[in-house]
A and B are shown apart, each in its own frame.
Chain A
Amino acid sequence: MLKIENLTKRFGGLAAVSNVSVDFEAGKINAIIGPNGAGKSTFFNLVAGAIAPTEGRIQFQGMDITGMACDRIARLGIARTFQSTMLFEESTVLDNLIVGHRLRTQSRLWDVLINSKRLRDEEKKCRARAEDVLDFVGLSHIGHRLTADISQEEKKRVAFALALATDPELVLLDEPAGGINPEETIKLAALIRKMVDHGVTVCLIEHKMDMIMSLAHKIMVLDHGEKIAEGTPDQIKQNPVVIEAYLGSDDDAAA
């Protein structure tokens, strides 16, 4: 579903992502791990179109989306969350979510000024969608609360819901469990699994190995912008290059 070929991104002299090729399958959970500054978030930014690659190609469902504008890519069905959660703190959770479905609506200024039927229908649709996704992430009961007042973990879920409100095929999650305690992390993992069960493909960055290892179907490891390994969790756990660059070895521990 997502096919990356020789993707490279340079910031000045620094190659944040360098010559990465990878295939992500539909309906799977794909993980990206790697040390801090390895280029994981940059990789996401490239896929989501937030920044343009220096070299290489990105194909999504057979379509070349390299260098396409962010919002078009979103309309094609790629949604994302950010490493630091961004929400509109001064409005309610539900109000935050309604805009998530905006990209599936047609209303223009004119509709707004005359309050057309189309607008009313679409607003209803957006609200319904917002309620759906809120329910999906298990937060229906806090829809009316101010976003500023909800907990860190709830915000992460709201961010998920916001991504889901765009009706995506593929969701990119950047450190969804960052700053979340182990107990909640497990619940979050369950939620991610549920997303996949509902037909959304997930791609996630995470430093929490327990979570990754139990969740991912496939893992790609980045280091210094380069792909140093790719495979199933078991393969990755055993991979000496990965152990050296990222995981740290048990041998070290034993020695």
Chain B
Amino acid sequence: MDLFFQQVLNGLTLGSIYGLVALGLTLVYGILHVPNFAHGAIYMVGAYVSYLTMVDLGYNYWVAMACAAAAVAALSVLCERLVFNPLRDAPPIHDKIAAIGIMMFLEAAVQMQWGAEFRRMPTPYTDIFNIAGLTIPAQRVLIIMGAFSLMAVLHLFLKKTMTGATIVAMAQNREGAFLVGIDANRVAMMTFAISGALAAVGATLFAPINLVYPSMGHLLIMKAFVIIILGGMGSIPGAIVGGLIIGFTEAFGGFYISTDYKDIIAFALLVVILSVKPTGLFTKGVR
């Protein structure tokens, strides 16, 4: 039973991070219809910025997180301005290739600047709680709480604030949004900024239990895509639930079936779900 709950905890940890990253991806996808393959690299840059502010400059963890969020948000906005905005009328395949170009660039740039070695980011929260046979490192609690509160904040932001509403409005009817005076460029930039900041925060939360290196975003972005397809592109609850589904699949599949095969299990799950429901779990039937 302990082991079962241990896997629940693992699933939650993974699911939180996946969800957070997928959320940024789905936000951009739902509103701007940009399949941003560079999102994994953006996440990676987030991890590096935190690492540098924390380890090299000696700032506090939370300051590092804020710096990473700000820097990566700016980077995302830059990508939007320089690449995706000029491509907004191009066929989607062009966006994909451009995003891959960005990804290559970011990885190479990071490697050039900081080398390819694995780095380990320390965390100030090193306690490990042992409750009823369950091992719960503080950082993991932080990840889960951080991710879920961020999701909640994002949800409230989108639902309750005027600025958030402009993002949703844009997703639901672009021209309608223009007509009430919403500035499309502003919303596009804001969306990219939020998406980048989410990735950076996700990276900062996750990095302490993992390693930081230039290609760290590769598999994550694959999974994030799986998640947003699974949850329905552009759907926020879809991204969260999708993240949890994949997280739990990996934890339970990895534990009860085989760790070596856990990725196959996750991807096969997607194939099965989409074979049954081709538009994902959370897309509405209309349109």
Q: Is chain B in direct contact with chain A in the complex (CB below 8 A)?
A: yes
B285 within 8 A of A: yes
Interface presence of A110 (CB below 8 A):
no
A62 at interface by CB-CB < 8 Å: no
| A12: B residues at CB distance < 8 A | 285-286
Q: Which of B248-287 contact A (CB under 8 A)?
A: 285-286
Taking the nearest CB of chain A, how far is it from the CB of B286, in angstroms?
Answer: 6
Query: B232-258: which residues lie under 8 A (CB-CB) from chain A?
Result: none
Interface size class of B (residues with CB under 8 A): under 10
Q: How far is the CA of A254 from the CA of B285 in the complex (A)?
A: 46
Report how far A214 CA is from B285 CA in the complex, Å: 40
Instruction: Name the residue of chain A whose CB is nearest to the CB of B284.
Output: A12
Contacts of B286 in A (CB 8 A): 11-12
What is the bound-complex CA distance between A12 and B286, given in angstroms? Answer: 8
Closest to B287 in A: A11
Which secondary structure characterizes the binding site on chain B? loop
- Measured in the bound complex, the distance between the Cα atoms of B43 and A4 in whole Å is 57
Nearest Cβ on chain B to A225's Cβ, whole angstroms: 16
User: A11 — which chain B residues lie within 8 A by C-beta?
Assistant: 285-286
Which chain B residue has the least Cβ–Cβ distance from A11? B286
| Interface residues as binary, A72-103 with B (CB distance below 8 Å gives 1, 0 otherwise) | 00000000000000000000000000000000
Tell me the complex Cα distance, A11–B285, Å.
Answer: 8
Cβ proximity bits A1-26 to B, threshold 8 Å, 1 near / 0 not: 00000000001100000000000000
The residue of chain B having its C-beta at the shortest distance from the C-beta of A14 within the complex is: B286
Report the Cα distance A11→B287, complex, angstroms. Answer: 10
User: Shortest CB–CB separation between residue B284 and chain A, in angstroms?
Assistant: 9
Interface residues of A in 87-134 (CB under 8 A from B): none
Q: Smallest Cβ distance from A10 to chain B, in angstroms?
A: 11
Q: Which of A8-61 contact B (CB under 8 A)?
A: 11-12
Interchain CA distance A12-B284 in the complex, whole Å: 10
Min CB gap B243→A, angstroms: 28
Residues of A within 8 A of B285 (CB): 11-12
Q: B41 → chain A, closest Cβ, in Å?
A: 34
Distance, CA A136 to CA B55, complexed state (A): 77
A68 to chain B, nearest CB (A): 21
Q: How far is the CB of A50 from chain B (nearest CB, A)?
A: 15
Q: How far is the CA of A175 from the CA of B251 in the complex (A)?
A: 56
Q: State in angstroms the CA–CA spacing of A170 and B285 once bound together.
A: 31
CA distance A232 to B127 in the complex (A): 85
Nearest A-chain residue to B285, judged by Cβ: A12
Interface residues of B in 70-124 (CB under 8 A from A): none
CB distance from A89 to the nearest CB of B (A): 13
Smallest CB separation, B279 vs chain A (Å): 14
What's the nearest-Cβ distance from chain B to residue A175, in Å?
21
User: How far is B19's CA from A43's CA once the two chains are assembled, in angstroms?
Assistant: 42
Min CB–CB distance B164 → chain A (angstroms) = 27
The docked-state distance in angstroms from the alpha carbon of A12 to that of B285 is 8
Q: How far is the CB of A26 from chain B (nearest CB, A)?
A: 36
| Alpha-carbon distance A11/B286, docked complex (angstroms) | 7
- A-B CB contact pairs (8 Å), 4 listed: A11-B285, A11-B286, A12-B285, A12-B286
List the 4 closest A-B pairs by CB distance, nearest first: A12-B285, A12-B286, A11-B286, A11-B285
